[in-house]
Structure 1
Amino acid sequence: MVFVCDEELETLQLSCMTNICFDDEAQNYIPTTLMSINANLWLGHFIFRKDDNGNGQLVFRHTMSLRSTSVQSGHDCLKSLIDTAIQECDRFYPLFNLVQTKDVSNPAKLNLALSDCHGIS
């Protein structure tokens, strides 16, 4: 996780990198996948980033305003930011895994991976 604070805008941005790498073929499926995911996210968004070697990585980004934030509420905001990033990365891990393995030909699998699960297993 990387945090960037912008004092002028009074914001804090969190970037949480996933541990899944995508080869060139799998990267072809990323734009459509991210459009499907980001269209339904209320907090934050996923981006795709390539490093200097051409390896692709998904990153969850979320920016939060720190205006009128006390030290205690700032601590709570930071905890919330981290919790949200972990939750969203975990939530879409099955879908990212399908894209990584290029197992995207079955729409039912993709819809299931995009679905929110509720309850206790």
Structure 2
Amino acid sequence: MLDEADFDRDDAAPIDMLESYFAAHGWEHERQDDEVIAKVKGSWTQYELRALWREEDSVIQFLAFPDIRVADDRRSAIYEAIGLINEQLWVGHFELWSSSGILLYRHAAMIEGPTDSGGGTMSLGAAELLVESAIDECERFYPVFQFVLWGGKSPKEALAAAMTETQGEA
């Protein structure tokens, strides 16, 4: 976990704060105007993280792509799995882009507080929550998608199998 000492200021424009957050973690990232993209290695796969700032609405949209593409013949099962998973989430949701079969996690947050440029500011804590919750949810539910796509399990079986927590040590 990073702390405020890792940054020049306590809050910043949302894209600036996220870019600083990615840099402080040493994650490969790229910035283009009101968008920043990073690559992060998770336990299961590499994730592409993408943040887009809409100043006119004061909204930051955060996307996490867990490198899963869904073939047409598996989409109905994945849509069912997404529905079951989204019932478990307090913040954000999973979705499947119909045109490409790309699975992603999406969350949008309204940002308040003016900056010199007129937009809102984001604190380090807010940036950390946005990024880490997206990665945590992708990590938590990645096995569900794999069980449905490759393990031959129904969405309900996949969710039950993935959510089983082991007790003790073997």
TM class by smaller structure: 0.7 to 0.9
The letter of the residue matching 1:4 is L
C-alpha deviation, 1:119, in angstroms: 7.2
1:62 maps to which residue?
Answer: 107
One-letter code of the match for 1:16?
A: A
TM-score, reference length from structure 1: 0.79
Displacement of 1:116 in angstroms is 6.3
Percent sequence identity over matched residues?
26
Matched, 1:11 2:59: yes
**In the superposition, relative to structure 1, how do residues 80 and 118 fare at CA in structure 2: closer, same or farther (>3 Å)?**
farther
Higher RCO by CA contacts (8 Å cutoff, separation 6 or greater): 1
Are residues 1:40 and 2:88 paired? yes
The farther-off stretch of 26-35 and 97-106 is: 97-106
What is the Cα deviation at residue 74 of structure 1? Answer: 2.3
Gaps of 5+ in 2: 1-48
Match of 2:125 in 1: 76
C-alpha contact (below 8 Å) 1:60/1:85 kept by paired residues: yes
TM-score, with structure 2 as normaliser: 0.58
- Checking the alignment, whether the CA contact within 8 Å between 1:13 and 1:61 is kept in structure 2 is yes
Q: Distance in 1 between matches of 2:155 and 2:113?
A: 48
DSSP 3-state at the match of 2:138 = helix
AA of the residue aligned to 1:60: Y
Give 1:42 deviation, angstroms: 0.2
Aligned residues of 2:111 and 2:122 also touching (Cα < 8 A): no
Query: What is the CA-CA distance between 1:112 and the residue it aligns to?
Result: 2.1
Shift of 1:110: 3.6
Q: 1:116 to 1:72 in 2, by over 3 A?
A: farther
SS of residue paired to 1:92: helix
Task: Judge which range, 65-74 or 37-46, deviates more.
Answer: 65-74
Measured after TM superposition, the shift of residue 81 of structure 1 is 0.7
In structure 2, give the amino acid aligned to 1:92: F
Indicate the structure (1 or 2) with the bigger Cα radius of gyration: 2
Report Cα offsets for 1:21-51 as digits up to 9, x if no partner: 2222222211111110111200100010144
CA RMSD of aligned residues (A): 2.9
Decide whether aligned partners of structure 1 residues 109 and 8 sit closer, same or farther in structure 2, where only a CA change above 3 A counts: closer
- SS of 2:105 mapped into structure 1: strand
The residue that corresponds to 1:89 in the other structure is 138
Alpha-carbon shift at residue 99 of structure 1 (Å): 1.6
Q: C-alpha separation between the residues in 2 aligned to 1:58 and 1:106?
A: 15
Count of matched residue pairs: 117
2: CA distance, partners of 1:99 / 1:69: 45
Which residues of structure 1 form unaligned runs of 5+?
A: none
Change (3 A) 1:32 1:94: same
Structure 1 CA distance for aligned equivalents of residues 75 and 94 of structure 2: 14
